[in-house]
Structure 1
Amino acid sequence: MPVNQQIPLQMKAAQIREYNKPYELVSIEVPKIPDHELLLRVYAAGFCHSDLQVLHGQFACKLPMIPSHEPAGVIVQVGPKCSGSWKEGDRVGALNFKNACSQCTGCALALRRHNKLDPRICENREMAGFKNDGCFAEYMVVDPATTVLLPESLPFDQAAPLMCAGATVWGALEKATATLESGAVVAIVGIGGLGHLGIQFSKAMGYRTIAIDTREAARSLASEVPAGLSPDLVIDSTSSEAAAAQILEFTQGEGIAAAIVCTDSLDVNSWALTLLRFGGVMVALGLPPEQWRFDPSIMVFRELVIMGSYVASADSVRRMMEVVERSGVRSHVTIVAFSDIPTIVESYQDGAFKGRLVVQVAE
């Protein structure tokens, strides 16, 4: 899109107008940006498992609402009071959390720790695609504090999944591996949109990497990655005992240093904990409807750490983009036409589907 092209009054968009019903395609007004924000021309928008949860009403948003929280595109308007050196024509992606209030205890904590606000932990933050309008639309208002520049070599359809799936698993890996030695063993449990990227990030960070899943399509996906980023071991965990034996053999009886669990299965998370070595770390990324269940004796006697991880901060995502550019990390992407958004859930729930669905919003 030419930088100085006039912004239209109307835009095409998809909306949730009723929970558990297909998205509806509509024509609505292009949003007006506040002085401190940016207007993004959306070129690609990802579909994520949490989008399905939003559609089912799990986040109780006010309807109608534009879904999707993985945008990639071009800045077409810069608010006169925007922070930073943003300019029209910048290729960017935006994270879903935005507009820190600066008044709550979360904002006070961010200021004490980092001397700047972090919308991720603001108690009054907006959440694009969850409670506020997202990016299944031609234009979207974004916060410069949670907007990141994209490498020139990264296509928009590849950038979109990195703004949630990539940012989530990357942030988990940064936390889990903060004190690990080079060459330690990291397991990625659950090889979907997050796990597929997690394998590549783990390898790019220099760790020996195990991919674990019960599904044949997922295990196949684990090896469909750019050269040099394949896992060192792919394990079928249908038999947990056999899988555990393989892992112990691979780690010479020590166990895994860190496990990133990309599923909300209570059983899988409980089992993954048993695979850790003494002092190991497990990051649980799923959001199960029930409470977690972990064996306290394993936790205590092995001095294990269980942690959660939200989407990475903008600073962390900038580090992720450097790795993406340097190592060539890529998602397994299926492109969806904008007109096919009403059927995207059906495509996502197809048992043979693997990787990420990305809507092409603009050419």
Structure 2
Amino acid sequence: MSGLPATMKALRYDKPKSYAVVEVPLPKLRENDVLIKVKACGVCGTDLHIHDGEFIAKFPLIPGHETVGVVAAIGPAVKDFTIGDRVCADNSELCGECFYCRRGQTLLCEHFEAHGVTMDGGFAEYCAYPAGKVFKIHNLSDVDATLLEPASCACHGLEKIAPKLGSTVLMFGAGPTGLCLAQLLKHNGGSHVVIAAPGGLKLELAKKLGAADEYVELSRSNPEAQFQALKDANPYGFDIVVEATGSAKILEDSIHYVRRGGKLVVYGVYSDSARVTWPPSKIFGDEITILGSFSETHMFPATIGYLDSGKVKVEGIVNKTYKLEQWGECLEAMRNKTAIKAAIVFD
């Protein structure tokens, strides 16, 4: 690839919890690949699970699944992209041939691969993606554009939920993807959206973004009074309850806020060992639908439409940026929640 360096700087894990910033060869381009010079790559809670060796991660690995940058090179079969285009990338790669892909259920692909999770991703100076997974962006800053991948997961969640007009919604948690999903639900059938979350940076940002119609500030030490007040104020519950905290305890209790005939959305990222217990008689008698929403496929065009136009607001969600060499500091900020969302940035 003429004019490009032979090697690049990357954050690489050789196994869970063991990482270093290293020099590695530039990715090799397949004929339909686009090489992106990375400008920013988002960090999310999933990356904490990957650090611990969870969430289908495969090692050795260069993490980073929320890549934004400019086109640096293109494969010989690539059309419609030119050097210098500002782009983001869908991290998933699907086989197209397995049982689920042949049924049109590509997210359930038996050979599902994802850059930054099972394949090398964007915590590097360059990353290569199939041209069909690369999308042009115009208005968003590089840092704000890192929200396109998590917001695409929110768009997939919206499709799974399929809210009816006039739905009431309760969301537990005010993390980045939850804030995107709450706004999408407001735009698509949610007549009254409530966010219940601990007080602090995330809840204040939710209010600033106008992500919901009502906000319930939960005590971090003893939220039982607020939980009970929420139930008392909504005796019939909610049409849609979204558990977006990743807490199995809150997920287990969430079913008691679901209206008869309503939907419970399992939306957070949970540890592999987490378990919940629900009374089957309640699910049966109240005809409750329990939905899982995991990732996304084919949602980037819709998501770019919402975010690039400003209809879904993301400014301020990324409140911390770091260089590759500051990865340990970044991890700590994510763990102690001083970062609402972080991003690795490159010059």
Shared fold per TM-score greater than 0.5: yes
Per-residue deviation at 1:206? Answer: 5.3
Which of 309, 316, 324 aligns to 2:293? It is 309
Alpha carbons of structure 1 residues 213 and 317: separation in structure 2 relative to 1, 3 Å = same
Alpha carbons of structure 1 residues 354 and 191: separation in structure 2 relative to 1, 3 Å = farther
Say if 2:266 is the partner of 1:284: yes
Which residues in structure 2 correspond to 1:189-338 (within 5 Å)?
Answer: 189-205=172-188, 207=190, 208-225=192-209, 229-237=210-218, 238-240=222-224, 242-246=226-230, 249=233, 251=234, 253-285=235-267, 286-288=269-271, 289-314=273-298, 316-324=299-307, 325-330=309-314, 331-333=316-318, 334-338=320-324
What amino acid is aligned across from residue 16 of structure 2 in structure 1? Y
Structure 1's unaligned 5+ residue stretches are: none
Q: Matches of 1:14 and 1:307 in 2, distance apart?
A: 35
Per-residue deviation at 1:247? Answer: 5.2
Q: Give the structure 1 partner of residue 329 of structure 2.
A: 343
Q: Give the structure 2 partner of residue 143 of structure 1.
A: 130
Q: Matches of 2:215 and 2:254 in 1, distance apart?
A: 15
Per-residue deviation at 1:70? Answer: 0.8
Q: 1:166 aligns to what SS in structure 2?
A: helix
Q: 1:329 aligns to what SS in structure 2?
A: coil
Q: Matches of 2:157 and 2:57 in 1, distance apart?
A: 26
Q: Matches of 1:129 and 1:5 in 2, distance apart?
A: 26
Per-residue deviation at 1:146? Answer: 2.7
Contact 1:236/1:243 (8 A) holds in 2: no
Contact 1:199/1:222 (8 A) holds in 2: no
Per-residue deviation at 1:273? Answer: 1.4
What amino acid is aligned across from residue 274 of structure 1 in structure 2? H
Q: What is the CA deviation profile of residues 282-319 of structure 1, one whole-angstrom value per residue up to 9, with x for unaligned ones?
A: 110233323332222221122111011121222x2311
Which of 160, 166, 171 aligns to 1:175? It is 160
What amino acid is aligned across from residue 45 of structure 2 in structure 1? H
Q: 1:168 aligns to what SS in structure 2?
A: helix
Q: Matched residues, percent identical?
A: 23
Alpha carbons of structure 1 residues 358 and 301: separation in structure 2 relative to 1, 3 Å = same
Contact 1:38/1:144 (8 A) holds in 2: yes
Q: 2:22 aligns to what SS in structure 1?
A: strand
Q: Matches of 2:226 and 2:325 in 1, distance apart?
A: 46
Q: Give the structure 2 partner of residue 95 of structure 1.
A: 90
Alpha carbons of structure 1 residues 86 and 122: separation in structure 2 relative to 1, 3 Å = farther
Alpha carbons of structure 1 residues 326 and 344: separation in structure 2 relative to 1, 3 Å = closer
Q: 1:236 aligns to what SS in structure 2?
A: strand
Q: Matches of 1:158 and 1:230 in 2, distance apart?
A: 16
What amino acid is aligned across from residue 358 of structure 1 in structure 2? A
Contact 2:216/2:226 (8 A) holds in 1: no
Q: Give the structure 2 partner of residue 32 of structure 1.
A: 28
What amino acid is aligned across from residue 169 of structure 1 in structure 2? A
Q: Matches of 2:81 and 2:236 in 1, distance apart?
A: 49
Contact 2:239/2:258 (8 A) holds in 1: yes
Q: Matches of 2:325 and 2:116 in 1, distance apart?
A: 19
Contact 1:70/1:94 (8 A) holds in 2: yes
Contact 1:70/1:162 (8 A) holds in 2: yes
Alpha carbons of structure 1 residues 175 and 338: separation in structure 2 relative to 1, 3 Å = same
Per-residue deviation at 1:328? Answer: 4.7
Per-residue deviation at 1:248? Answer: 5.1
Deviates more, 1:254-263 or 1:194-203: 194-203
Which of 140, 143, 152 aligns to 1:154? It is 140
Structure 2's unaligned 5+ residue stretches are: none
Q: 2:103 aligns to what SS in structure 1?
A: helix
Q: 1:17 aligns to what SS in structure 2?
A: strand
Q: What is the CA deviation profile of residues 296-347 of structure 1, one whole-angstrom value per residue up to 9, with x for unaligned ones?
A: 2221122111011121222x23112212214151151122233322421112
What amino acid is aligned across from residue 341 of structure 1 in structure 2? W
Per-residue deviation at 1:78? Answer: 2.1
Alpha carbons of structure 1 residues 305 and 200: separation in structure 2 relative to 1, 3 Å = same
Contact 1:45/1:359 (8 A) holds in 2: yes
Q: Matches of 1:159 and 1:136 in 2, distance apart?
A: 15
Per-residue deviation at 1:128? Answer: 1.0
Contact 2:41/2:344 (8 A) holds in 1: yes
Q: Matches of 2:58 and 2:310 in 1, distance apart?
A: 38
Per-residue deviation at 1:174? Answer: 2.6
